[in-house]
Amino acid sequence: MRPTVLCFSGLDPSGGAGLQADIEAIGQSGAHAAIACTALTIQNSQQVFGFEATSKQLLLAQANAVVGDLPIKAVKSGMLGTTDNIAALADFLREHPDYLYVLDPVLVANSGGSLGNQETLVKAFVELIPLATVITPNTVELRALTGEDNIEQATQKLFEMGAQAVLVKGGHEDTPDYIRNALYVNGEMITESKCPRLAGEYHGSGCSLASFIAGRLALGDQLKIAVQHAETWLFGVLKNAETPIEGGQKIPKRF
């Protein structure tokens, strides 16, 4: 059986982000996706209307049901919804130190809607940071996690908080023509990439990138190679993204 990535992520009914993005991206990476669902959200491609989080007992029961059943090589987390779920995932990861772990520190939806109480989530994420093989914040999340405005200082602060590797995604920075991402390992930038900025807003681009990285890591890629594969793949699926009827955020075409 293909190496499996166990995703802790929420349901987005639009199919653009969340667990559907994870399943599609991981499938495209060549790995198999398993899901422990953290929350059911109510949203479309334009806005989030609300969500109901899974209890930590139910979340861990889902995850534990597939441990030993599937060849899990990596864990990926996206929307976790509550501090209880963050603590439960931290316990789960400490029980399975051999799993690679991609932490996408989701705080709000790309459309701007709340996916949890940002202040308490930020405090709880501190426990997950040292457990991650790589953390994939956009610059809004990076600033929120560290309280630092300057990107370089914020990245270094994340390493002081125990991070092993950080992929800083520049999609929210004011670079009208391009997006620059930079991969840091142990405080040092080891590679950066620039791609042309595509017009419009995309629903689930962060989920897709982090999941593809997790899939490639599960298959044995080195981190730098996994990130390069994922960035190339993401650019293609965003270029082919489809526009919803009411003109909401574009939905990446991952097949």
Tell me which H or E stretch contains 50.
strand 48-53
- Binding region for ligand PLP (CB under 6 A) out of 7-15, 145-153, 217-225, 238-246: 7-15
Please give the Cα distance from 52 to 73 (Å, whole number): 29
Q: Is there a contact between 218 and 229 (Cβ–Cβ < 8 Å)?
A: no
- Which residue in 79, 89, 218, 223 binds ligand PLP (CB under 6 A)? 79
Cβ-proximal residue to ligand PLP, closest one? 18
Minimum CB–partner distance for residue 194 and ligand PLP (Å): 20
Q: Is there a contact between 63 and 96 (Cβ–Cβ < 8 Å)?
A: no
- Helices 139-146 and 118-128, interaxial angle, to 10°? 80
Q: Is there a contact between 143 and 110 (Cβ–Cβ < 8 Å)?
A: no
**Contact mark string toward ligand PLP, 91..130, x via CB under 6 A:** ---------------x--xx----x---------------
18 binds ligand PLP (CB under 6 A): yes
Minimum CB–partner distance for residue 32 and ligand PLP (Å): 20
In the numeric block, which tokens belong to residue 15? 């199919």
- Binding region for ligand PLP (CB under 6 A) out of 12-20, 68-76, 164-172, 184-192: 12-20
Please give the Cα distance from 89 to 70 (Å, whole number): 18
Q: What is the DSSP string of 144-187?
A: HHH--SSHHHHHHHHHHTT-SEEEEE-TTSS-TTEEEEEEEETT
- Which residue in 5, 6, 7, 17 binds ligand PLP (CB under 6 A)? 17
The SS3 call for residue 78 is: coil
Please give the Cα distance from 181 to 156 (Å, whole number): 16
Minimum CB–partner distance for residue 106 and ligand PLP (Å): 5
In the numeric block, which tokens belong to residue 236? 């293609």
Minimum CB–partner distance for residue 188 and ligand PLP (Å): 26
Minimum CB–partner distance for residue 217 and ligand PLP (Å): 18
**Contact mark string toward ligand PLP, 205..244, x via CB under 6 A:** xxx-------------------------------------
Minimum CB–partner distance for residue 208 and ligand PLP (Å): 7
Report the interface residues with ligand PLP, using CB under 6 A.
Answer: 9-10, 12, 17-18, 41, 43, 78-79, 106, 109-110, 115, 203-207
